[in-house]
Amino acid sequence: MTKLPLRPLGQTGISVSPITLGTVKWGRNQGLKFPAFELPDDRTLHALLDLAEEAGINLLDTAPAYGIAEERIGKLLADRAGGSGILVASKAGEEFADGASAFDFSAGHLRASVERSLRRLGREALDVAMIHSRQDDVDVIENTPALETLEALKREGKIRATGFSTMTVEGGLLAAERCDALMVPYNLGYQAHRAVIDRAFALGKGVIVKRGLFSGGTYTAADLPDLIRAVFAVPGATSLAVGTINPAHLRDNAGAVAAALA
């Protein structure tokens, strides 16, 4: 398999693969818009990481709201030779417990969340730390200390790049002005956030596209090339988040991304 080329994540100085491997299914199987599934065992996850290494995929996306995903990533990477070459983007602000999400954007909670993520992951710094926003992301940006707290943690060396997982176009445009990177919904059937990606690109900010494959929704193998080409036709799209736990699917995705970028 040809390795995917690394791409600059905006002006962060961090180079990432055009596929970001999402890990929500590594640690949580409740409250998700997917058919019921069992959490994968460690052997399956090591197979995914083997394939990611083969394909040149170097970025994992996780979050405290992804159940036990952070703890599993920390253990898996500690067990792997060369595991330190994997970059990790995590989030703060959302917690998932007892089947429901709760949000806290206070400075104390966000700082404690990032420090807990570092312990779980066995890292001295998160490569990217994003605010895991609720729907009213404009209010989160304007009326909470969320982004200021991330900036303080960056100055302290606990995170390398700040970010925001956007919900609305208005919130995305505000976040583009203040963060190093964004996570933005965009796909062949939903393109309202194109304005956010374009603005981030103009400002030299990195963009990880979420829901590019309809969040695991219904599509066929024949649809995959068109879905992926739609994402990478946008100049500001740095990387596509793919949340599979199926090595065959990841191989197909990597091949389709390589073809779209050729």
Give the pLDDT confidence score for residue 31 in this predicted structure.
87
DSSP-derived 3-state class of residue 172 = helix
Assign 3-state DSSP to the chain and report helix, strand, coil percentages, each to 5: 45, 20, 35
Give the pLDDT confidence score for residue 222 in this predicted structure.
86
Identify whether 66 is a catalytic site residue.
Answer: yes
Q: Which two tokens stand for residue 104?
A: 């806290």
- The whole-angstrom separation of Cα 180 and Cα 9 is 8
User: pTM to 2 decimals?
Assistant: 0.96
pLDDT digits (tens, 9 = 90+) for 181-221: 999 999 999 999 999 999 999 999 999 999 999 865 667 77
Q: 237 pairs with which residues across the strands?
A: none
DSSP-derived 3-state class of residue 132 = strand
Average pLDDT over residues 28-57: 93
Burial 213-230 (b: 16+ CB within 10 A, else e): bebbeeeeeeebeebbeb
DSSP letter at 190 equals B
- The whole-angstrom separation of Cα 117 and Cα 190 is 32
Average pLDDT over residues 73-86: 85
DSSP-derived 3-state class of residue 188 = coil
DSSP state string for 65-126: GGTTHHHHHHHHHHTSTTGGG-EEEEEESEEEETTEEEE---HHHHHHHHHHHHHHHT-SSB
Whether residue 82 is predicted with pLDDT greater than 80 in this model: the reply is: no
- 83 band by pLDDT with thresholds 50, 70 and 90: low
248 backbone dihedrals φ, ψ, rounded to 5°? -65, -40
pLDDT digits (tens, 9 = 90+) for 49-79: 999 999 999 999 999 999 999 999 999 999 9
**Closest to 166 (Cα-Cα) out of 152, 151, 146, 188:** 146
Average pLDDT over residues 160-185: 98
Dihedral over Cα of 153, 154, 159, 161: its sign = positive
pLDDT digits (tens, 9 = 90+) for 93-137: 999 988 889 999 999 999 999 999 999 999 999 999 999 999 999
pLDDT > 90: percent of the chain: 89
